[in-house]
Structure 1
């Protein structure tokens, strides 16, 4: 089970950072496209949770797996994938994109102005942006924000995979007959 978790968690992590690579190769001025590419790579990376659990169930666990065991496997794969994503974001953020929080906040305010938001709403967003920019000065907060960005996706995939892939072992007909008598 450990080998399956590590294998699929690591591959998922590599896939999840493809969004960073594509964004750098194409330029990251358009944050909307960067977010779409980033979440698409996360989704593809986390889809390996299904593959990993199914592979384990069918090839190593005799065709059955409990919800809890599938949940455990999926959560561990999600944690590995997310940790790789967070680690790479730290490298990207501190070396290539140190003004991310400010630029992202400015983009949100610009979109709010274009959408016709009230001055009160815009000022509230500016205050929230200032808090995030301040938070981003602390590496621990950068790590927490980044885990919040990605880990929930993995948790959703894990819950779905555990629900869909759980499978009770098939009972032998003769065992059933003996039990029924």
Structure 2
């Protein structure tokens, strides 16, 4: 059993027996239906474009090579270290950081360098906020850096760092995980 329509679909006025739409409303109803179809088509196109952008983003992420992933992971890690040590003095010289300096005034300096101990490049005990001039060659001495690190994390952890001479080859998945972990940690730290 079907119910007969009693109201005009366009103007919502009462219909007489046998009518499906008021004769005066036919043109307006057709225009409204065309506009509705156009909006639905535009919505479909936006959804398809969104899916295409997501697929492009996925393909670009899959095409990234190890150096690019390493750079992204290192940038995320360094940003986290800078935020973690915000408000603390420089690990080497003990001076406060200069605010509002063009290019920033803080580096994430590694106690054991990334070249000498690449397996420790993402170790939080091995990286601290440093003034830019302290992180440059000739900017600080190893003894001053070591004294600052010992004061911050303790002698035992420093000795563990100095004695860790392992080798590690970073995989794509590890680098993506490190990048995502430190981006989330930075967001949580700033919240």
Mark yes or no: TM-score above 0.5: no
Identify the structure with the greater strand proportion. 2
- Greater Rg by CA: 2
> Higher RCO, 1 or 2 (CA under 8 Å, sep at least 6)?
1
Identify the structure with the greater helix proportion. 1
TM-score, structure 2 normalization: 0.24
